[in-house]
Amino acid sequence: MSRTAPSIQRYLLTRTFLFSAIGFMILLFVCRLAYEASIRDSADQIAESVAESTFNSMYLVMSQGWTRAQLEQFMAQLSSSKDSDAAIDVMVYRGETVVDLYGEIDQPNMDKQIRDAMRTGEVVQRSFGNQQRYLHPLKAEQICLQCHTNASVGDTLGVIEVEQDLSKQMDIASRNLLYYLLVLSPLPILFGFWAVRSVAFRVNHSVDELSKRIRKVETLEDLSQLSRDNEDLGFRELNQIFGQVETLADRLQGIAVDKDLLEFEIRLLEKFVITSEVVRDWREYINMLMLDINQVIQIYTMFSIFKVDDEVFDLEIFWLTTPSDNTRKMMEKAIRKRLAGNEHFGIPGEVIIHHNSVSTDSTPLELEPAEIELQTKSLLVETPKIGGIVGIGVHASIVKDNTKVLVLESILSTLLNVVGSVKAIYKYTRDLEYYATRDPLTNLYNQRMFWELLDYELDRCQRHDYQVALLMLDLDNFKAINDGYGHATGDKLLRQLSIELQSVLRTGDIIARYGGDEFVVVLPETSLEHAEQVSERLLQCMQDFSLETRNDGVVRVTGSIGVGLFPEHADNRKDLFMFVDNLMYRSKSQGKNRISLPHKEDVAEIFNDLNQKMVLVNDAIENHSVVPVFQPIQPNGDDLPAVEVLSRIQLPDDTLMTAGEFIEIA
């Protein structure tokens, strides 16, 4: 379990009391040493003064000529002059020179210090605890030689000893010093407490201000509130700490990602899944996307302008709320200006503009050009040929936030991918639908689409009680054109002829390539007379058609046409088709380049013939009388010869029925 950290005030107070106590003890110790040293110095001065006074007294008596009795009396007075209050002892020691001349006196034995003073003639000061000792050598001067005849100038005649007991003075001084220091001791504690309170107040005020600003930080935008705007906090260290916090906040704004923005990015990735609902109604998808974006970043508008193949530009502008007319015009102008700066798009000529509003608020949105900033991203794809630009309009202050600019880039990438993918899927779907129903060579309807359209028209004519004409058109001798001029020329002929044939039909008429060189035409709400007129126009169109070859040759073509009506000549699509197909073959058998119109007797004859052929085919299948016929193929060069296998039905008279006669029936 972690220990609770103390507050700065408590820490400073405890340290102040502790260091005050330590300082008090140190001060007491130092002051006591200083006071004792002062007392000792004073004692040395007193001892020196006492020694000088004693010598002066001795000199005064000796100058008058004293006797031994007077000397003993003087020494006795020195011994009896011991002052218990002053605690000073004075003793005079006679040196050997004086002893040799005047004899010994009653004096204590001299210790080593006294003897050293006698020998060196130097003053000796010694301390032993509270005992102070001062030795003052008495040196012979010229005047002294009158009495001390055996001495020389500078010889030590004796030593005056002054001893002081400083214990009483030391005790008094210690008590007084302790008393005064105890009286003054609350002052540093009070001053320290006041200083701690002042420092703690300023520190706590600064810390509380920082804590208040930190508590307000909930998003990356709020990190800017940590700035103190060069405010002086009173302490250099606090200024440095707060400066580092500001630096950290600035760095976090540059490298950190807001939680809401990160969650939005995750949701945005989930929305990137393009479903059939998105493809079908991608505008609603963008509306919902704007609502999600507005939860993390305030946006006003989004737009996309795309062009598929050679279509006109399609501009979709999405608004969070309904804009005013001035705001619409301002945005359209801003988008055109942005397009003008794109080298791949330039200024489009014709533009279809659609405005979409997520919320139909009663108050129109009013924006000024300075309030809004456009962020755009473009897409240019060669295959499929799709190009476009997407953009988002936000408040101008948002683009100053690098993190939000990155989010806007991500949003634009998602929007560009979604809209671009929708456009590409739309184009591919449209192309797929087109080529699924069209012949790739002629761009006419193919056989599958022909049957669907025929069923639709037959069903419609039954409900509305009108006739539908079906025309079967087959080119004459087209195989000879392919063999003589090549398949490339044949394909070119079919493409150009298809365009000419389509040009002579009405808008509602249907023409399809059934296969090879066969074409079928459906004429809704048409009588036999009108069908005949259309057939004649088609026949004349083929007769007038010509194609120039690479060798400056001219290829012409004719065709045979069979005509039938529903429900007059057949009551279902299969019978109608077989009826028209037989009439077309009748045209070929009659010399080609003609129209075969139905007559009343033709219906019975053709269906009778069809029934006979159907019976014949069924018998051939049951009797296994379908035989292969081998058509030799002589290749060019040294390649091996080959054969083409053809199916034929052997008739009772040993003749063969070609596949063209029974394939439709089978």
**DSSP per-residue codes, 340-406:** HT-TTT-S-SSEEEEEEEEE--SSPB---GGGEEEEEEEEEETTTTEEEEEEEEEEGGGGG-HHHHH
At residue 214, the pLDDT reads 75
Least confident of 147-151, 226-230, 363-367, 417-421: 226-230
At residue 614, the pLDDT reads 66
Quote the Cα angle for 633-638-639, to 5°. 50
pLDDT digits (tens, 9 = 90+) for 306-346: 777 666 677 888 888 888 888 888 888 888 887 776 666 65
Residue 109's pLDDT band (cuts 50, 70, 90): confident
At residue 1, the pLDDT reads 42
Right CATH for 447-598 from 3.40.50.920, 3.20.20.370, 3.30.70.270, 3.30.460.20: 3.30.70.270
Name which residue leads in pLDDT, 137 or 374: 137
- State the average pLDDT for the chain: 78
pLDDT digits (tens, 9 = 90+) for 635-666: 666 666 777 777 777 777 767 777 666 665 55
Least confident of 25-29, 74-78, 561-565: 74-78
Residue 574's pLDDT band (cuts 50, 70, 90): confident
Name which residue leads in pLDDT, 573 or 217: 573
| pLDDT value at 24 more than 50 | yes
At residue 607, the pLDDT reads 54
pLDDT digits (tens, 9 = 90+) for 36-58: 778 777 877 787 787 777 777 77
| pLDDT value at 532 more than 80 | yes
| pLDDT value at 545 more than 70 | yes
Least confident of 170-179, 253-262, 403-412, 578-587: 253-262
Structure-token pair, residue 643:
């054969």
Going by the DSSP 8-state scheme, the letter that residue 145 receives in this structure is G
Determine the average pLDDT of the residues in 230-246. Answer: 73
Structure-token pair, residue 546:
């010509």
At residue 603, the pLDDT reads 59
% pLDDT > 90, the chain: 15
Which residue type, as a one-letter code, is found at position 373? Answer: E
Residue 459's pLDDT band (cuts 50, 70, 90): very high
CB atoms within 10 A of CB 90: 20
In this structure, the chain runs to a length of 666
pLDDT digits (tens, 9 = 90+) for 241-283: 777 777 777 777 666 666 666 777 777 666 667 777 777 787 8
| pLDDT value at 533 more than 70 | yes
Domain residue ranges of the chain, discontinuous segments joined by +: 8-172, 185-255, 262-435, 447-598, 608-666
| pLDDT value at 604 more than 60 | no
Residue 562's pLDDT band (cuts 50, 70, 90): very high
The reply to whether domains 8-172 and 447-598 share a CATH topology is no
* Of the candidates 652, 579, 655, 566, the residue with the CA atom closest to the CA atom of residue 615: 652
Residue 227's pLDDT band (cuts 50, 70, 90): low
Structure-token pair, residue 329:
């015009």
At residue 84, the pLDDT reads 44
Residue 230's pLDDT band (cuts 50, 70, 90): low
At residue 543, the pLDDT reads 93
Determine the average pLDDT of the residues in 147-159. Answer: 78
Is residue 647 within 8 A of residue 661, CB to CB? The reply is: no
Residue 557's pLDDT band (cuts 50, 70, 90): very high
Residue 529's pLDDT band (cuts 50, 70, 90): very high
Least confident of 72-81, 114-123, 213-222, 475-484: 72-81
Residue 605's pLDDT band (cuts 50, 70, 90): low
| pLDDT value at 493 more than 90 | yes
At residue 410, the pLDDT reads 78
Name which residue leads in pLDDT, 214 or 557: 557
Name which residue leads in pLDDT, 106 or 593: 593
| pLDDT value at 59 more than 50 | yes
Structure-token pair, residue 429:
């779907």
| pLDDT value at 232 more than 80 | no
CA distances from 290 to 287, 546, 557 (A): 5, 60, 62
* Of the candidates 12, 24, 359, the residue with the CA atom closest to the CA atom of residue 177: 24
pLDDT digits (tens, 9 = 90+) for 294-304: 877 788 888 88
> 188: buried, middle or exposed (CB in 10 Å: 19+, 13-18, 0-12)?
middle
CA 264 to chain centre: 12
Determine the average pLDDT of the residues in 359-385. Answer: 73
| pLDDT value at 379 more than 60 | yes
| pLDDT value at 544 more than 80 | yes
CB atoms within 10 A of CB 291: 11
At residue 14, the pLDDT reads 78
CATH 3.40.190.10 matches 8-172: no
At residue 83, the pLDDT reads 47
Name which residue leads in pLDDT, 468 or 428: 468
